[in-house]
C-alpha cells in the first residue's frame, strides 16, 4: 500500500516539512503520502478527525466535470489503490 504512494509525489524529496490544513480524508491522505516520502508533516485542524464531515461521509467522487484526459488515469489509479 505504501509503495503505491511513491509514484504520486516524486517531486517532494526536497521538502523537509509541510503543514497540512485539515484532518478530513483529503488532508490525512496527503499527510500520509508526504510522510511516506520522509517529509515531516504538521497537521492543523479545527476539529479532531472523528468530528469531521469525512468521518461520516460516503466519500463519493467521480470525475464527471473534467475534460482533461489524465483524469480517467488518475481515477483508475485511485480506484485501484482504495
- Residue 42: its pLDDT value, please? 94
Who contacts 70 (Cβ-Cβ below 8 Å, separation ≥6)? Answer: none
Q: 51 vs 73, which has greater pLDDT?
A: 73
Q: Give CA separation, 45 vs 11, 12, 78, in Å.
A: 25, 22, 25
Who contacts 8 (Cβ-Cβ below 8 Å, separation ≥6)? Answer: 33
Average pLDDT rounded to a whole number, residues 29-39: 85
Amino acid at each position: 500500500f505504501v509503495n503505491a504512494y511513491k509514484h504520486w509525489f516524486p517531486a517532494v524529496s526536497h521538502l523537509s516539512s509541510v503543514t497540512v490544513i485539515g484532518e478530513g480524508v483529503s488532508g490525512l491522505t496527503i499527510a500520509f503520502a508526504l510522510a511516506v516520502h520522509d517529509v515531516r508533516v504538521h497537521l492543523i485542524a479545527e476539529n479532531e478527525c472523528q468530528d469531521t464531515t469525512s468521518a461520516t461521509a460516503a466519500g463519493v467522487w467521480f470525475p464527471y466535470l473534467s475534460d482533461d484526459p489524465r483524469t480517467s488515469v488518475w481515477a483508475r489509479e485511485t480506484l485501484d489503490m482504495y
